[in-house]
């Protein structure tokens, strides 16, 4: 039987359907990615805000990135998105991808 493990990575949920050691390795990898050290490193490379609020913003980005937590962030209503996703996907395929 497979175990499904869900993790929050930034604002994206990752789901793993893995067995035993694979699941443990996947969870360790996600935990590493979310560690303050990894988040600071990724922020310095990608110029993004760390997903982990315990991760310090790199010095080179402090002038351009807001401090954490970011105030007044728009939260996506995923129930609303999911309700319209198929229609939006069809529109994309018809109007953008087809040209």
pLDDT at residue 15, as a whole number: 55
Beta strands 12-18 and 3-9, pairing class = antiparallel
Distance CA 9, CA 5 (A): 13
Distance CA 27, CA 90 (A): 34
Structure tokens at 93: 């395929």
Q: What's the rounded mean pLDDT across residues 45-55?
A: 87
Look at residue 7 and tell me whether its pLDDT is greater than 60: no
pTM assigned to the model: 0.52
Q: How remote is the C-alpha of 19 from its chain's centroid?
A: 23
Structure tokens at 1: 């039987």
């Amino acid at each position: 039987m497979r175990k499904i493990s869900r993790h929050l990575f930034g604002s994206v949920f990752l789901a793993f359907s893995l067995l035993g050691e694979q699941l443990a390795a996947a969870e360790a990898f996600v935990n590493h990615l979310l560690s303050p050290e990894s988040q600071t490193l990724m922020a310095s490379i990608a110029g993004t805000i760390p997903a982990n609020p315990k991760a310090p913003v790199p010095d080179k980005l402090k002038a351009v990135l807001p401090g954490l937590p970011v105030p007044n962030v728009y939260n996506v209503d995923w129930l609303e998105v999911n309700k319209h996703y198929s229609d939006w996907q069809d529109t994309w395929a018809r109007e953008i991808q087809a040209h």
